[in-house]
Structure 1
């Protein structure tokens, strides 16, 4: 009987034409052709989006903004492992200009391609050191499956060149489709590209006298001649919505981790010392202090936990109920605040630092004030004006004007840089992922507490690691090239390189 059924099915299938098969297997609502806009949307979201739930908070454990209480977390205790080295998110970026319908649109998508490449290579080299660059992404075109590693200096020269090309391409382009951030506005994209360039140059501050990079001259030229961010409306950020996949990354629905983060003393104590009302938007008052008679509008009602403290001691504080959790606005509002990768406030602090270093003739204090003002305005404008979220201490215009008007900078270049970087840190609470760590790594500011007794950095327990190790896949599949890169960077006198998290990469080593 089974054989008869089989033969009947074969006969029926044989009478069905190919065209009929294609018709019933084609979705009339789905596109059959990839477009530039489709690729652009995917690439932009990959660049700008952040993980959700616990993954969202992990960078902020590393930069000491929050304390995690579920169990000892590696980043909180300075434990680093292997990093990532993958450029698959941009391996089809070159198709965007090819698929464009006009020459001007092709230019815009070319600008996005160069920018995306610059970002991905920048992130990789910032984490690891030397990386594949000139041979990268050539597997399909040149059958280059085992790319050599370029020196970090060569990579940065390439990144800066690609950012220049991105600005030129956007300047020659048209507004384009597929952009969830700036709606394809090429002027906005030029501002982002050039602001990002200033960020890259500042991360090279230890190499400010390098004759090939010409860092100070480049910084001056961009600041004087190129469009850059001018307000919070230019922020490189994703505006959230109450739709699946678009909600604020730590929104409470479906989030089982909301009970674990607490405010860090590194944030709370600095805000309290400055009588800064951002504290009331970042944190929630200690229940024990409220029970003791304090009001939620009292700075002393907010208690941060030292993130370097041994985990057992953190658990004791958690049990005592004398600590500050995250403000409700991070958990209760589905749209939350926009999540930034780079902001106008950060740009202001970058220019302030460059001015303090003598790179530009701008006023360090004026730009420092603009940075604090932009940070406060962003928070106020993106938070419902209710007591639940500001505890009766709103960041209204009158407060901001008075507070910013009273700001000063200390005497001396190093002291000024410390205060500028510290304010940049306070403005970046739960924003910009690893940027604050990069600033700390090159400047030593803010001065975070490091406890050797709790440190997971076994080789140097009094230090925070300065890089990630190369991923295991590189040692498995690109052995010769990664080994050569390690020896070149960290070989020492005996040339026996060690891929260690405490070894200085080129941008951090003033001796190279």
Structure 2
């Protein structure tokens, strides 16, 4: 018994000894010397800006371009391709600590700059939310920690847009008074670049309000002209709000082939290939690869007729049959063979040029619409050419040098229509072609606002069960909203859509 007791007490002593030693070294062992010990403004800023600028990767990267009919997907029938948008919510979680970015700033100038980032980020996120859904929480959003508002009310879409425009104007003023800051993977803390972006994005917001030009509170045309007259706007592709990719973990092109099992599924849509072929536009050779069947039958890679688009509205079985024949164009190799690919744009100089062209055609500002139209096409071509190796694998012996670009721009000028509505149709089409695998959902927003480009709709394949001859005009609210904020979301649905959360009913900006 004594022996057992001694063994027992000795065991306890050993355990206590190791426990004491372990406790004394616990903090040392579990502290990463390379990890920061405190959060600062720069860290929060970098996370927020990356959240705005960095698209998802692999299949998720391609999904918006199924919705915008730029690619057809050959793995399985996809809702976005066949007009089933599903549910969505306003993605605001990345902004929860934006206020701390301002609070932690060490100087007044830095505080202003980080406040500018906060307002731009808020404007973008609320814009994305209201463009998808309609009415969303705005004034009471993100007030859970500060005001204990856990179930925010939904604001009228008009009020959300007024708030977005005010925040962008405030951001411009803050950047003008602010200092260069750290934690910026896009513009390296250059406040002039951020002013250009804030103002250019405001023009993008205003053009989406083209059906609301008579509203006395929005003053769409007056605001647009004031921003343009201010002149602090994008001036070239160097101003693009984009991420330049690199051969580093987490920074490669989103559809790069390594660890990407989806590279075999996207094919180029006829909605992209046909207008490029009709206009003999060499961007075709940078966007797509020649159809294997056409090459086997004697066509050359530098012939327009070697490229075949797939109608994304075809029933999936028909698309699967086409894949077997190899009579289709897959993506250009540069989208998955090049680790750096091309910079990924969220807002671009070509987009800005086409917005200016549309505003000029509508009479909002003085000028000639065709001049901005030409600038947009030229900038698109230069962006593609400048970010593609001049190798036959990627250009298919149809490179776009300065001489070609000048020649084709002159041709586009001669063919620019005189009728205003036809001008807008051509402007939106070129804006669409310039957005290939860029700008996420923006071409869809232009389509539902203007009806251009005129995408094919096939009732036999449509998953839009309530209106098979239409493309839905909005996403439905998430079930989670009905579970946790039921009273407010139901009230918003009642005032907008007569109580039915219907993806085919028009939100306020489309009426």
Q: TM-score, normalised by structure 2?
A: 0.97
2:195 is the alignment partner of 1:190: yes
Identify the residue that residue 253 of structure 1 maps to in structure 2. 258
2:183 is the alignment partner of 1:178: yes
Cα distance in 1 between the residues matched to 2:396 and 2:91: 44
Q: CA deviation at 1:15?
A: 6.7
Deviations 1:272-328 (A, max 9, x none): 011000000000001111111111110000000100011111111110111100000
Match 1:474 to one of 475, 481, 505: 481
Cα distance in 2 between the residues matched to 1:447 and 1:6: 80
Q: Is residue 56–residue 254 contact of structure 2 (8 Å, CA) maintained in 1?
A: yes
Q: Is residue 283–residue 325 contact of structure 1 (8 Å, CA) maintained in 2?
A: yes
Identify the residue that residue 505 of structure 2 maps to in structure 1. 503
Q: Is residue 90–residue 130 contact of structure 2 (8 Å, CA) maintained in 1?
A: no
Q: CA deviation at 1:6?
A: 4.5
Q: Is residue 327–residue 389 contact of structure 1 (8 Å, CA) maintained in 2?
A: yes
Secondary structure of the equivalent of 2:412?
Answer: coil
Matches within 5 A, 1:63-78: 63-78=68-83
The structure-2 alpha-carbon separation of the partners of 1:357 and 1:21, relative to structure 1 and needing over 3 Å to count, comes to same
Cα distance in 2 between the residues matched to 1:477 and 1:205: 35
Identify the residue that residue 287 of structure 2 maps to in structure 1. 282
Cα distance in 1 between the residues matched to 2:125 and 2:438: 18
Identify the residue that residue 494 of structure 1 maps to in structure 2. none
Cα distance in 2 between the residues matched to 1:29 and 1:453: 58
Secondary structure of the equivalent of 1:407?
Answer: helix
Deviations 1:166-199 (A, max 9, x none): 1111000011001001111111111000000000
Cα distance in 1 between the residues matched to 2:309 and 2:438: 19
Identify the residue that residue 243 of structure 1 maps to in structure 2. 248
Cα distance in 1 between the residues matched to 2:503 and 2:219: 29
Matches within 5 A, 1:53-68: 53-68=58-73
Deviations 1:237-289 (A, max 9, x none): 00000111110011111110111111100000010011000000000001111
Secondary structure of the equivalent of 2:90?
Answer: coil
Cα distance in 2 between the residues matched to 1:159 and 1:322: 47
Matches within 5 A, 1:397-476: 397-408=402-413, 409-476=416-483
Match 1:389 to one of 378, 391, 394: 394
2:85 is the alignment partner of 1:83: no
Identify the residue that residue 13 of structure 1 maps to in structure 2. 19
Cα distance in 2 between the residues matched to 1:339 and 1:232: 12
Q: Is residue 85–residue 471 contact of structure 1 (8 Å, CA) maintained in 2?
A: no
Q: Is residue 285–residue 303 contact of structure 1 (8 Å, CA) maintained in 2?
A: yes
Match 1:116 to one of 100, 114, 121: 121
Secondary structure of the equivalent of 1:464?
Answer: coil
Cα distance in 1 between the residues matched to 2:376 and 2:8: 77
The structure-2 alpha-carbon separation of the partners of 1:10 and 1:169, relative to structure 1 and needing over 3 Å to count, comes to same
Secondary structure of the equivalent of 2:476?
Answer: coil
Identify the residue that residue 38 of structure 2 maps to in structure 1. 33
Query: What is the total number of aligned residue pairs between the two structures?
Result: 503
Q: CA deviation at 1:25?
A: 3.3
The structure-2 alpha-carbon separation of the partners of 1:146 and 1:403, relative to structure 1 and needing over 3 Å to count, comes to same
Cα distance in 2 between the residues matched to 1:466 and 1:89: 26
2:315 is the alignment partner of 1:313: no
Cα distance in 2 between the residues matched to 1:112 and 1:407: 38
Cα distance in 2 between the residues matched to 1:249 and 1:362: 38
Cα distance in 1 between the residues matched to 2:198 and 2:241: 10
Q: CA deviation at 1:71?
A: 1.1
Any unmatched runs of 5+ in structure 1? 492-496
Deviations 1:348-368 (A, max 9, x none): 000000001110012100000
Deviations 1:124-173 (A, max 9, x none): 00000000000000000111000000000000000000001111110000
Cα distance in 2 between the residues matched to 1:351 and 1:9: 75
Cα distance in 1 between the residues matched to 2:72 and 2:466: 23
Cα distance in 1 between the residues matched to 2:285 and 2:11: 73
Match 2:216 to one of 207, 211, 236: 211
The structure-2 alpha-carbon separation of the partners of 1:93 and 1:302, relative to structure 1 and needing over 3 Å to count, comes to same
Q: CA deviation at 1:29?
A: 2.2
2:339 is the alignment partner of 1:337: no
Q: Is residue 37–residue 177 contact of structure 1 (8 Å, CA) maintained in 2?
A: yes
Q: Is residue 283–residue 302 contact of structure 1 (8 Å, CA) maintained in 2?
A: yes
Q: CA deviation at 1:13?
A: 3.1
Q: Is residue 194–residue 226 contact of structure 1 (8 Å, CA) maintained in 2?
A: no
Identify the residue that residue 322 of structure 1 maps to in structure 2. 327
Secondary structure of the equivalent of 2:72?
Answer: strand
Identify the residue that residue 375 of structure 2 maps to in structure 1. 370
Q: Is residue 90–residue 128 contact of structure 2 (8 Å, CA) maintained in 1?
A: no
Q: Is residue 64–residue 307 contact of structure 1 (8 Å, CA) maintained in 2?
A: yes
Q: TM-score, normalised by structure 1?
A: 0.96
Alignment RMSD (CA, Å): 1.3
Q: Is residue 90–residue 125 contact of structure 2 (8 Å, CA) maintained in 1?
A: no
The structure-2 alpha-carbon separation of the partners of 1:227 and 1:6, relative to structure 1 and needing over 3 Å to count, comes to farther
Deviations 1:388-417 (A, max 9, x none): 101010011000000001213212111110
Identify the residue that residue 488 of structure 1 maps to in structure 2. 495
